[in-house]
Amino acid sequence: MFKGNNETAQLMSTSVNVQALGVKGNDVDCHITGSDVTDDAIFLELDKQYDIAITLDPGSTGVKFHQTKPFCNQNSKCPPELPGGNATHPFSVTRNSDTSLTIHAAPVHSRAVAHYRLNFDGGESCDPIIIHE
């Protein structure tokens, strides 16, 4: 529950599966599924903080998460490709391996769309969205 200036929000968790279907140049065609996913977009509730566990499907075509910048985000437009981009408020990377990562999302208090990029070794990426509603 959100409480005034001493922000304490209920911690929620959600799991997301990413299946890399193919690579064309630096673009990875990703299919994203999970209980809070609709049409490849992750939907999060307002005023709640989330740990988003993202797992790369074992059937994915030869990609691994980038070790230093697996996730970056930006409001209103797609974040820059590697080597640019960072995880910025309200998101932070809390765990990372070749095939999984955990993103912490701080609570937001109004509807928002966050464009993010999943970065893979070799400079490949896909760029879906997160919607807070």
Does 117 reside within a domain? yes
Token pair listed for 30: 């990703």
Provide the CATH number for the domain around residue 65: 2.60.40
DSSP track, 86-128: ---TTEEEEEE-SSEEEEEE---SS-EEEEEEEEBGGG-EE--
Does 55 reside within a domain? yes
Q: What is the pTM of this model?
A: 0.90
Predicted confidence band of residue 71 (pLDDT cuts 50, 70, 90): very high
Q: Which residues are registered as beta bridge partners of 55?
A: 17, 100
Does 17 reside within a domain? yes
By residue range, what is the domain housing residue 104?
11-132
Token pair listed for 66: 């980038």
Does 3 reside within a domain? no
Does 84 reside within a domain? yes
Number of domains comprising the chain: 1
Q: What pLDDT digit, counting tens, does each position of 30-63 carry?
A: 999 999 999 999 999 999 999 999 999 998 878 9
Does 1 reside within a domain? no
Does 2 reside within a domain? no
Rounded CA-CA distance 66/119 in Å is 6
Does 73 reside within a domain? yes
